[in-house]
């Protein structure tokens, strides 16, 4: 059942023993959300299968206590944070659970006791709003965790909008944590040599397809697929898909897309969900960052992703062309009484309307006057 912030808190308080469960390879958004909730309402933080480097650095620096591979049956309620599918929890047996998540699509809502699901840039933004709404003071530790979660999930704010910056500023004011402090935490995260090798191999093996001005890069690595996909978009690709063969023989594909493509209508989360369903797999995420796990070959999964993106981009381009052609359709030739050569449709265009130049003399303390010219259009007649 979908609930609002206050109802979420009230229902949470009905349970004594709570587990806040993060997805495998948990990121700072998941760990930060779980930590903030556990600090305020009590409970344990569980990792389905470890966490990534930045999250681990945050855990160590802040002193967050986590439980690896917890047993959800030992708790009255499991709150699943920042997770959209059971596969991301390594199929842990979960009894009674709630969900707080920000992914555009999620398969966990139907069986949840209650949930908050919003399409925001990070889960920590939702968590902060809940805490702010009930007047909870934001400590330095909670503030650091929340800020780090926002920075990492928005690609260092590349995918942030007005609401994200607004929340970020409120967290900084209320916690006293400087933005630089969170950046420093991430900067001090050690760069393992295996990651650097994986990035170089990903670039070396990459193949590029072009659709107009859109470049789609594909490659494969044995690990760090998400980081490799981000790297490819940073060095020139508009969209990147990176495949990984898992130990059980199934395939995983991580996808990333640049903001301008997402703004134009490309949603990798929805694309991955559609492709994943073809193989009874799990796919989803955000417009610019998503992933799939499915039982098929890596090559087939990536090929399907590329074809679906091509289809989506073609539809977007067709809509643009259709909109453009409407603007060039023949217009009625009603003459302007002031200018017989100007039709009604031509007159509607600001660049074709007659303009006037206004010169304003601006005095300067030095005694030298300067002139500025401003172009203005006469007001339209009703």
Residue 51 domain-assigned (yes or no)? yes
pLDDT at 356: 43
The CATH number assigned to the domain holding 310 equals 3.10.310.40
| 60 and 119 together in one domain | yes
Residue 382 domain-assigned (yes or no)? no
| 117 and 24 together in one domain | yes
pLDDT at 131: 97
pLDDT at 341 over 60: no
pLDDT at 51 over 80: yes
pLDDT in tens, 221-254: 998 898 899 999 999 999 999 999 988 888 999 9
What is the domain extent for residue 119?
5-187
pLDDT at 190: 63
| 53 and 153 together in one domain | yes
pLDDT at 325: 64
Taking the C-alpha atoms of residue 276 and residue 106, their distance in angstroms, rounded to an integer, is 13
Candidate from 133-137, 261-265, 341-345 with smallest mean pLDDT: 341-345
Return the C-alpha torsion angle 362, 364, 369, 375, nearest 10.
-30
Q: What does pLDDT average to over the chain?
A: 84
Structural domain ending residue among the three candidates 138, 158, 187 = 187
Residue 95 domain-assigned (yes or no)? yes
pLDDT at 218: 96
Residue 283 domain-assigned (yes or no)? yes
* Cβ contacts of 14 within 8 Å, gap of 6 or more: none
Structural domain ending residue among the three candidates 307, 326, 345 = 326
Residue 381 domain-assigned (yes or no)? no
| 214 and 347 together in one domain | no
Candidate from 163-172, 257-266, 315-324 with smallest mean pLDDT: 315-324
| 24 and 165 together in one domain | yes
Q: How far is CA 73 from CA 68, 95, 284, 333, in A?
A: 15, 6, 27, 76
Taking the C-alpha atoms of residue 186 and residue 363, their distance in angstroms, rounded to an integer, is 51
pLDDT at 352: 44
pLDDT at 348: 43
pLDDT in tens, 5-31: 999 999 999 999 999 999 988 999 999
pLDDT at 324: 67
| 171 and 209 together in one domain | no
pLDDT at 326: 63
Residue 127 domain-assigned (yes or no)? yes
DSSP of 111-144: T-SSEEE---S-HHHHHHHHHHHTT----HHHHH
pTM score? 0.70
The CATH number assigned to the domain holding 172 equals 3.90.1640.10
pLDDT at 343 over 50: no
Q: How confident is the model at residue 328 (pLDDT cuts 50, 70, 90)?
A: low
| 251 and 283 together in one domain | yes
| 313 and 339 together in one domain | no
Structural domain ending residue among the three candidates 133, 159, 187 = 187
Q: How confident is the model at residue 340 (pLDDT cuts 50, 70, 90)?
A: very low
pLDDT at 35 over 80: yes
| 269 and 355 together in one domain | no
Q: Please give the structure tokens belonging to residue 98.
A: 């709630």
Residue 77 domain-assigned (yes or no)? yes
- Total domains present in the chain: 3
Mean pLDDT of 88-106: 88
| 162 and 288 together in one domain | no
| 350 and 306 together in one domain | no
Highest mean pLDDT among 122-126, 246-250, 287-291, 345-349: 122-126
| 243 and 310 together in one domain | yes
Residue 359's DSSP bridge partners are 373
Residue 147 domain-assigned (yes or no)? yes
């Amino acid at each position: 059942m979908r609930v609002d912030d206050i109802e979420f808190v009230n229902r949470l308080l009905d349970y004594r023993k709570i587990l806040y469960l993060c997805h495998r390879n948990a990121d700072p958004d998941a760990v930060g959300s779980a930590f903030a909730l556990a600090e305020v309402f009590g409970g344990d933080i569980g990792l389905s299968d470890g966490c990534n480097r930045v999250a681990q650095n945050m855990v160590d620096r802040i002193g967050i206590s986590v439980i690896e591979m917890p047993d959800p049956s030992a708790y009255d309620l499991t709150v699943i944070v920042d997770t959209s599918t059971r596969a991301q929890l390594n199929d842990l047996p979960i009894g009674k659970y709630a969900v707080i998540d920000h992914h555009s699509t999620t398969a966990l809502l139907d069986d949840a006791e209650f949930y908050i699901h919003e399409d925001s840039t990070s889960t920590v933004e939702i968590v902060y709003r809940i805490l702010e709404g009930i007047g909870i003071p934001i400590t330095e530790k909670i503030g650091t965790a929340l800020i780090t979660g926002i920075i990492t999930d928005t690609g260092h704010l590349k995918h942030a909008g007005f609401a994200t910056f607004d929340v970020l500023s409120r967290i900084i004011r209320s916690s006293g944590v400087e933005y630089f402090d969170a950046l420093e935490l991430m900067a001090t995260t050690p760069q393992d040599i295996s990651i650097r090798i994986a990035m170089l191999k990903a670039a070396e093996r990459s193949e590029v397809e072009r659709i107009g001005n859109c470049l789609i890069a594909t490659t494969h690595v044995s690990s760090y697929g998400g980081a490799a996909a981000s790297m490819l978009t940073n060095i020139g690709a508009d969209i990147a898909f990176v495949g990984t063969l898992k130990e059980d023989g199934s395939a995983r594909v991580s996808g990333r897309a640049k903001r301008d493509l997402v703004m134009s209508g490309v949603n990798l989360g929805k694309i991955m969900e559609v492709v994943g369903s073809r193989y009874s797999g799990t796919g989803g995420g955000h417009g610019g960052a998503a992933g799939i796990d499915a039982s098929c070959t890596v090559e087939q999964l990536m090929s399907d992703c590329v074809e679906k993106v091509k289809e989506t981009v073609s539809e977007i381009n067709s809509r643009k062309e259709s909109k453009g052609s409407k603007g060039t359709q023949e217009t009625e030739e009603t003459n302007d009484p002031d200018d017989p050569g100007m039709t009604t449709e031509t007159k509607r265009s600001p660049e074709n309307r007659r303009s006037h130049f206004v010169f304003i003399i601006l005095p300067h303390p030095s005694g030298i006057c300067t002139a500025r010219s401003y172009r203005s259009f006469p007001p339209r007649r009703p």
